[in-house]
């Protein structure tokens, strides 16, 4: 098969690495890709929102399957674009329809979907310019902390948690009236604050059946001990130590199955990954968020633990035959540590020369890198993801941290405490 991956991060390098291992993968392209994908596939400069350009490229290279990494092309309707065009209908697009992608693209859509299907999630109310005053009143009548969420996509930054009523009201006003997150915050969800421990599960759905990939937990804050600003994710571990069979049974019956059945009942086309962010409160799982794609950096440790041929699994997904698939995963424990540019997630410098020593104990995925002549240069906030497997979490972490230490570039920063709670 000729396969095209959309995206340019560590997640897409991990997809390329995994898909390339399949005998069924004959040609592999990544748009736009990075310095790591350039070494194992062909990078192609395409704008992921320019669907006609994607179509031209796909037809020229006889692409059979497109694996969509990030959420934006999905929310913009890349699946529907290919499906609704007679010339591209035969091309498999792994990812939901535009409507299905609303599970991530609109927090309000996701909350009402969960409400309709009795899926446990935090209680909520939604506000716009029209009922802003009711929003202030709602804050007055309830107890802090308040969780305010921009309805639309805000690159992972659209959630603000405030400890006081005054801050909550100021934030609500900034989000709605001053467009703090642009159009994304013209509607705001105010949610009940849930206190508990978070973890993530990854579902691959064919619309009727589903399989579960290994679970993971990511570390979103920039600083050690989960302090400081939110980032795209500074590391991940898989499996999550406290997630046992009993908990997974609850997650399946109370969350995953109602989600898949709900999508089907509402005729929402969904053949792709569903990343479900969960929080455990008094031993009960609640949905914090849905994403219509795989996580980054979670993919960088989930895929190394997956033993299936991924091309085969994705074909089964496209054919609606995931009931015939058996997911096999390594019993080893895994950890990923992200190396970031100094200053990230605020301003940082790019263009630093990166040196990566050989290391048989780790898998190095590139996130923000590019090749320039023969030099590998940093080109983003998150630069490298170092993944390792071990007999236990601590051995996996030790290997990943050792290589994280040995990789060099000016301003390199990483969290040394990934997995610290366990
Ligand atoms: P989200 O973008 O919806 O995943 O939210 C970002 C982060 O905000 C989550 O990973 C949680 O740590 C936190 N969060 C979101 N919703 C809630 C909630 N209802 N209660 C407590 N924390 C939350
Ligand atoms: N690691 C968080 C995300 O991919 O959204």
- 291 CB within 6 A, ligand 2: yes
Instruction: For helices 132-141 and 165-176, give the axis angle rounded to 10 degrees.
Output: 160
Q: Which CATH architecture has domain 129-186?
A: 2-Layer Sandwich (3.30)
Atom of ligand 2 nearest to the CA of 218: 1
pLDDT score at 368: 97
pTM value is: 0.95
pLDDT, tens digit, 9 for 90 and up, residues 10-28: 999 999 999 999 999 999 9
Helix axes 310-319, 10-20, angle to 10 degrees: 100
Positive or negative, the CA dihedral 338, 344, 350, 352 is: negative
Residue 269 Cβ inside 6 Å of ligand 1? The answer reads no
Q: Whose CA is nearest to atom 6 of ligand 1?
A: 159
Cα 382 to averaged position of ligand 2 atoms, centre (Å): 13
**What pLDDT sits at residue 265?**
97
Nearest ligand 2 atom, CA 296 = 4
pLDDT digits (tens, 9 = 90+) for 238-273: 999 999 999 999 999 999 999 999 999 999 999 999
For ligand 2, say whether the CB of 419 is within 6 Å of any of its atoms: no
Q: How many whole angstroms from 355 Cα to the centroid of ligand 1? A: 36
* Distance from Cα 295 to the centre of ligand 1, integer Å: 15
Over the stretch 378-419, which tens digit does the pLDDT of each residue have?
999 999 999 999 999 999 999 999 999 999 999 999 999 999
What's the pLDDT band for 135 if we cut at 50, 70, 90?
confident
User: pLDDT for 156-170, tens place per residue?
Assistant: 778 889 999 999 988
71-82: b (≥16 Cβ within 10 Å) or e = bbbbbbbbbbbb
Atom 8 of ligand 1, residue of closest alpha carbon: 159
Please tell me if the CB atom of residue 272 comes closer than 6 angstroms to any atom of ligand 2: no
Tokens matching residue 65: 């399957």
Q: Is 233 in the pocket of ligand 2 (CB under 6 A)?
A: yes
pLDDT number for residue 215: 97
Which atom of ligand 2 has the smallest separation from the CA of 156?
5
Confidence check: pLDDT of 193 > 80? yes
The domains of the chain are located at 2-97, 129-186
Class of domain 2-97: alpha beta
Percent of the chain with pLDDT over 70: 100
Mean pLDDT of 57-86: 98
């Amino acid at each position: 098969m000729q396969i095209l991956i959309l995206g340019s991060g560590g997640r897409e390098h991990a997809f390329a690495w995994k898909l390339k291992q399949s005998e069924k993968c004959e040609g592999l392209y990544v748009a736009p890709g990075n310095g790591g994908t350039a070494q194992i596939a062909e990078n192609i400069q395409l704008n992921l929102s320019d669907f006609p350009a994607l179509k031209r490229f796909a037809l020229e290279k006889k692409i059979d399957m497109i694996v969509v990494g990030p959420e934006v092309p999905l929310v913009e309707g890349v699946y529907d674009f290919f499906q609704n065009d007679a010339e591209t209908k035969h091309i498999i697009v792994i990812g939901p329809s535009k409507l299905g992608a609303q599970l991530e693209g609109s927090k309000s859509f996701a909350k009402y979907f969960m409400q309709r299907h009795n899926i446990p999630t935090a209680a909520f109310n939604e506000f716009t310019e029209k009922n802003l005053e009711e929003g202030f009143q709602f804050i007055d009548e309830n107890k802090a902390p308040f969780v305010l969420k921009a309805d639309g996509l805000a690159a992972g930054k659209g959630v603000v948690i405030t400890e006081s009523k005054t801050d909550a009201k100021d934030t609500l006003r900034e989000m709605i009236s001053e467009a703090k997150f642009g159009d994304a915050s013209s509607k705001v969800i105010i949610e009940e604050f849930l206190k508990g421990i978070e973890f993530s599960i990854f579902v691959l759905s064919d619309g009727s059946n589903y399989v579960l990939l290994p679970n993971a937990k990511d570390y979103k804050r920039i600083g050690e001990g989960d302090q400081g600003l939110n980032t795209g994710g500074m590391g991940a571990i898989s499996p999550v130590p406290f997630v046992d069979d009993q908990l997974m049974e609850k997650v399946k019956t109370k969350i995953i199955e109602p989600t898949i059945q709900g999508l089907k009942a509402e005729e929402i086309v969904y053949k792709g990954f569903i990343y479900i962010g969960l929080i455990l409160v008094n031993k009960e799982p609640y949905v914090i968020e849905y994403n219509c794609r795989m996580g980054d950096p979670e993919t960088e440790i989930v895929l190394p633990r997956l033993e299936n041929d991924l091309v085969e699994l994705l074909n089964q997904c496209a054919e609606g035959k995931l009931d015939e698939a058996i997911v096999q995963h390594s019993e080893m424990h895994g950890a990923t540590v992200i190396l970031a540019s100094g200053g990230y997630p605020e301003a940082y410098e790019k263009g630093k020369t990166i040196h990566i020593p050989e290391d048989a104990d780790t898998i190095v995925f590139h996130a923000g890198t590019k090749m320039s002549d023969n030099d590998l240069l940093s080109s983003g906030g998150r630069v490298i993801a170092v993944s390792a497997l071990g007999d236990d979490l601590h051995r996996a972490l030790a290997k990943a941290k050792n290589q994280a230490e040995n990789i060099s570039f000016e301003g390199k920063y990483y969290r040394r405490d990934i997995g610290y709670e366990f």
